[in-house]
Chains A and B, each alone.
Chain A
Amino acid sequence: GAVVSQHPSRVICKSGTSVKIECRSLDFQATTMFWYRQFPKKSLMLMATSNEGSKATYEQGVEKDKFLINHASLTLSTLTVTSAHPEDSSFYICSALGQGGAVTQYFGPGTRLLVL
């Protein structure tokens, strides 16, 4: 149980284009999903918290117009990197928190984004 998927696992795009990453909870409903960014050999940096049916809450320093988050259902959240630039290249990981007072975040396998 508690499986979270991400798609795509790897994406290469040209500078200036937009990329959408999907995060799905496969066997549970997730009231809250989180989006993280991880640099090589570094810890995870929380970008935003996404609640189903409401606007995402962004961490300080994260541009909400650049990293669009949509949490349209209890099993799907999407992160769109708009007008991507090489400095946006990174490993993006989502996590999901179940309903009913769940405390454990379950993580997706991550998406490697390379912007040329």
Chain B
Amino acid sequence: AQSVAQPEDQVNVAEGNPLTVKCTYSVSGNPYLFWYVQYPNRGLQFLLKYITGDNLVKGSYGFEAEFNKSQTSFHLKKPSALVSDSALYFCAVRDGGGGNKLTFGTGTQLKVEL
């Protein structure tokens, strides 16, 4: 079975400061990891993914994430937060060894304040 944990329901950060949204995962095979963002009453927008290769993945809107195999983590980061980054962020995992179903975390609400 595969699972994802997002330990923080909400993260608050001041605009211009760096942000981190945490994600840990569990999967039996090689993990395929994803970050999506959701704005109110909208679907999910794809930000970035890790499949293989460089542990630091760069994605849309200046976001990046670092894959850490030993800690089974895939934290989302951005060097300088914007108010417009305020949204609900989901981490997701699938087993690279088989199946294409995604398992999502419970989501982290990011609030960026002036």
Contact = CB atoms under 8 A, between A and B. Distances in A.
Contacts of A49: 100-101
Interface residues on chain B, size class: 20 to 34
B74 interface: no
Interface in A80-116: 91, 93, 95, 97, 103-110, 112
Given A32-B100, A44-B104, A104-B49, A109 B42 contact: yes
Given A43-B90, A44-B90, A107 B43 contact: yes
Contact of B43 (A43, A46, A104, A108): A108
A108 B106 CA distance: 19
Interface in A18-55: 32, 34, 41-44, 46, 49
Contact of B51 (A95, A103, A108, A109): A103
A110 B41 CA distance: 7
B101 A93 contact: no
Nearest to B88: A41
Contacts of A104: 34, 46, 49
Interface string B21-49: 00000000000101010000111111001
A71 B102 CA distance: 19
Interface of B: 32, 34, 36, 41-46, 49, 51, 90, 94, 100-102, 104-107
Interface of A: 2, 4, 6, 32, 34, 41-44, 46, 49, 91, 93, 95, 97, 103-110, 112
Q: Which 10 A-B pairs have the closest CB atoms?
A: A107-B43, A107-B44, A109-B43, A110-B43, A43-B106, A43-B104, A108-B43, A44-B104, A93-B43, A43-B107
